Amino acid sequence: RMEASCLELALEGERLCKAGDCRAGVSFFEAAVQVGTEDLRTLSAIYSQLGNAYFYLHEYAKALEYHHHDLTLARTIGDLLGEAKASGNLGNTLKVLGNFEEAIVCCQRHLDISRELNDKVGEARALYNLGNVYHSKGKNVASAGTHDPGELPDDVKNALEKAANYYEENLTIVTELGDRAAQGRAFGNLGNTHYLLGNFRSAVLAHEQRLLIAKEFGDRSAERRAYSNLGNAYIFLGEFETAAEYYKKTLQLARQLKDRAVEAQACYSLGNTYTLLQDYEKAIDYHLKHLVIAQELHDKIGEGRACWSLGNAYTALGNHDQAIHFAERHLEISREVGDRSGELTARLNLSDLQMVLGLSYSTNNSMMSESHVVENSLNGTRPRVGRRHSMENMELMKLTPEKVQNWN
Amino acid sequence: SQPLPGHQATELQSKVVPSKQILHSDNMEMEPETMETKSVTDYFSKLHMGSLVYSCTSKRKNK
């Protein structure tokens, strides 16, 4: 019979998704939908799982479509719990798509129904989702500007404070429920919210809790995330040595987990941290490691950034030959990827180096003579990334909050 | 209901270093989302198990 066939296909889809093969799972679920069923609850479960599979595969438009079908169906058959779940999933998907206002409405619906049904687990999960939506909303608006953590416009601050409140509410419930895994997640995101708000001490406290729980579970990915977030917070507390220790732990775990991109990220963070510590040899060592992986991953933009960092570090050491080599490479890559501001920075760096080395260099390099054209085209606006000289004296200051200003 | 592995809003930038991260480290590591899950067996068991159990027990009684 057709009914059995739809169910069989859906069961196979479930099995495949649980085994981690969402792509194959999706085919079976879609086949099940094609066959069809008169049992609307079964259909709702299929839509929901299709939505989650597409979410997992980062195909958010499809995820949205299926979670929306699920919501409509749940409402039609008067399945309140099903409606709450569909609303939550729709909310998460809308958040990823950047539709924060609708996401809030959906997550709030998830919360309201959970409270109506006296479903504590559902209530906690809805609070976590709401926290995530407000966090993303705040971060999204913040990233449109050029703010550092702690320097925020009011709307960003409001969104982030709401996020922190939702995470706190979630923590109260999951602590009562004794759900350690959920506590770990809430602490991690609460820590990141405090970080964006500029509450770096609170961020450290939350990430320390996250770390503790990650170790309890032997969850090495979560452990690595906690180390990395702790490193970031200590940078902004001006405690660079401590930050370096956490980044080293991140690097160690990244290597164990064989995640090259994360390993590169850790090397880059370490390179920057040793730059802040004015230990340029170590900075170069880590930036070179980052460069190698960026090349291996065909990550041109990362490669350009590594070259820029290396150029700065070699200049700080007075190794002008290497500095010029990397500044030229930075210029080349910036042109290749169409990074205008990178190109301007590279030209300014090269013209600075030209000044240091005298004019002889410019005669055998045509790139140099173009630099004045670029400066004219700026129309008086300064590029975001300053000259190397200013990096030592000013850019570090600008990029780190007031608390750090007495670091040297 | 289980958390999904973390995904990151894909920046069309470096695969490794986010665009904002020029000098300081600003690559926050978020926790994974949790999605609500449904299963066809939830409903299937409620719908069919009752009658299945009934038929089994009634068969046994008939013996």
pLDDT in tens, A154-191: 999 999 999 999 999 999 999 999 999 999 999 999 99
- The verdict on ipTM greater than 0.95 is no
For residues A370-379, give the mean pLDDT: 40
Q: What is the pLDDT of residues A71-106, one digit of tens each?
A: 999 999 999 999 999 999 999 999 999 999 999 999
Q: Regarding predicted confidence, which is higher, B30 or A145?
A: B30
SS3 B34: strand
For residues A335-353, give the mean pLDDT: 91
Rounded-to-integer distance, Cα A124 and Cα A8, Å: 33
User: Residue-wise over A208-233: b if at least 16 C-beta within 10 A, else e?
Assistant: ebbbebbeeeebebbbbbbbbbbbbb
Q: Which residues contact B28 (CB under 8 A, 6 or more apart)?
A: A192, A195, A196, A229, A232
Q: For an interface test with A, which of B23, B30, B44 has the most A Cβ atoms less than 10 Å from its Cβ? A: B23
Angle at alpha carbon of residue A271, lines to A265 and A274, rounded to 5°: 140
For residues A194-208, give the mean pLDDT: 96
The residue written with tokens 């094609």 in the block is: A34
Rounded-to-integer distance, Cα A89 and Cα B38, Å: 11
For residues A133-148, give the mean pLDDT: 81
The answer to whether A43 and A63 are in contact (CB under 8 A) is no
Structure tokens at A260: 């090259």
Q: Regarding predicted confidence, which is higher, B63 or A248?
A: A248
For residues A297-320, give the mean pLDDT: 94
CB contacts, 8 Å: A189 with chain B: 30-31
Nearest CA in chain B to A302: B14
What does the mean pLDDT of chain A come to? 88
Q: What is the pLDDT of residues A232-279, one digit of tens each?
A: 999 999 999 999 999 999 999 999 999 999 999 999 999 999 999 999
CB contacts, 8 Å: B24 with chain A: 148, 235-236, 272, 276, 399-400
Q: Which residues contact A37 (CB under 8 A, 6 or more apart)?
A: A2, A3, A6, A7, A43
According to the model, what pLDDT value does residue A357 have?
A: 81
For residues A377-394, give the mean pLDDT: 35
For residues B10-14, give the mean pLDDT: 40
Instruction: Assess B12–A contact: CB distance below 8 Å, yes or no.
Output: no
Rounded-to-integer distance, Cα A216 and Cα A211, Å: 9
The answer to whether A357 and A320 are in contact (CB under 8 A) is yes
According to the model, what pLDDT value does residue B41 have?
A: 87
Q: Regarding predicted confidence, which is higher, A33 or B62?
A: A33
CB contacts, 8 Å: A52 with chain B: 4, 35, 37
Strand partners, B3: B34
Q: How far is B12 from chain A (nearest CA, A)?
A: 10
Q: What is the pLDDT of residues A3-17, one digit of tens each?
A: 559 999 999 999 999
Nearest CA in chain B to A135: B30
Q: Regarding predicted confidence, which is higher, A339 or B44?
A: A339
The neighbour count for residue A24, using CB atoms within 10 Å, is 16
Element (H, E) at A110: helix A100-116
According to the model, what pLDDT value does residue A239 have?
A: 96
CB contacts, 8 Å: B17 with chain A: 264-265, 268, 290, 301-302, 305
- Find, among A45, A32, A24, the residue nearest to A5 by Cα: A32
3-state secondary structure chain A: CHHHHHHHHHHHHHHHHHCCCHHHHHHHHHHHHHHCCCCHHHHHHHHHHHHHHHHHCCCHHHHHHHHHHHHHHHHHCCCHHHHHHHHHHHHHHHHHCCCHHHHHHHHHHHHHHHHHCCCHHHHHHHHHHHHHHHHHHHHHHHHHCCCCCCCCCHHHHHHHHHHHHHHHHHHHHHHHHCCHHHHHHHHHHHHHHHHHHCCHHHHHHHHHHHHHHHHHHCCHHHHHHHHHHHHHHHHHCCCHHHHHHHHHHHHHHHHHCCCHHHHHHHHHHHHHHHHHCCCHHHHHHHHHHHHHHHHHCCCHHHHHHHHHHHHHHHHHCCCHHHHHHHHHHHHHHHHHHCCHHHHHHHHHHHHHHHHHHCCHHHHCCHHHHCHHHHHHHCCCCCCCCCCHHHHHHHHHHHHCCHHHCCCC
Structure tokens at A120: 């504590």
Rounded-to-integer distance, Cα A83 and Cα A77, Å: 10
Q: For an interface test with A, which of B7, B21, B31 has the most A Cβ atoms less than 10 Å from its Cβ? A: B31
B27: which DSSP letter?
A: -
Nearest CA in chain B to A300: B14
CB contacts, 8 Å: B27 with chain A: 228, 232, 265, 269
Structure tokens at A17: 């998704």
Rounded-to-integer distance, Cα A308 and Cα A305, Å: 5
Backbone angles phi, psi at B18, to 5 degrees: -65, 155
Instruction: Assess B48–A contact: CB distance below 8 Å, yes or no.
Output: no
- For residue A272, the number of C-alpha atoms closer than 13 Å in the C-beta half-sphere is 28
Closest Cβ opposite residue A232 in set B4, B25, B38: B25
Nearest CA in chain B to A110: B36
According to the model, what pLDDT value does residue A213 have?
A: 98
Nearest CA in chain B to A259: B16
Q: Regarding predicted confidence, which is higher, A403 or A196?
A: A196
Element (H, E) at B55: helix B50-62
Q: Which residues contact A206 (CB under 8 A, 6 or more apart)?
A: A187, A188, A190, A191, A194
What does the mean pLDDT of chain B come to? 59
In percent, how much of chain A has pLDDT > 70? 85
Q: Regarding predicted confidence, which is higher, A157 or B19?
A: A157
Given an 8 Å threshold on Cβ–Cβ distance, is A399 in contact with B7? no
Given pLDDT bands bounded at 50, 70 and 90, which one contains residue A149? Answer: low
Given pLDDT bands bounded at 50, 70 and 90, which one contains residue B45? Answer: low
The answer to whether A159 and A136 are in contact (CB under 8 A) is no
